[in-house]
């Protein structure tokens, strides 16, 4: 079964809007479906998550960096005639 990702938009974001993943424009109907205040992506979006003590220590000592996959979702929308940007974090992400 394919893994998909669901992003719940904040209540203040209303269509029309543009969606980007890692700075790449996404196309509704191809890359994602908009169902009410939810964006359903055909692929799994990854979030790096919290770093543990050893990972922080290795970064501090310069032994290792943080190279895990992390997909950034950005939505550009208009509110009262102004162009605004919403950077969505893990709290808006739900895998289905």
31-59 mean pLDDT: 75
Mean pLDDT (the chain) is: 79
Output 46 or 78, whichever has higher pLDDT.
78
- Which tokens sit at 38? 């939810």
Number of domains, the chain: 1
pLDDT above 90: percentage of residues in the chain: 44
Output 92 or 80, whichever has higher pLDDT.
80
Identify the domain containing residue 51 by its residue range. 5-95
């Amino acid at each position: 079964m394919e893994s998909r990702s669901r992003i719940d938009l904040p209540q203040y974001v209303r269509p029309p809007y543009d969606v980007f993943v890692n700075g790449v424009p996404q196309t509704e109907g191809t890359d994602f479906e908009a169902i009410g205040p939810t964006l359903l992506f055909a692929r799994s979006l990854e979030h790096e998550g919290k770093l543990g003590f050893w990972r922080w220590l290795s970064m501090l000592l310069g032994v290792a960096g943080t190279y895990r996959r992390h997909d950034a979702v950005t939505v550009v929308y208009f509110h009262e005639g102004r162009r605004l940007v919403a950077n969505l974090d893990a709290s808006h992400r739900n895998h289905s």
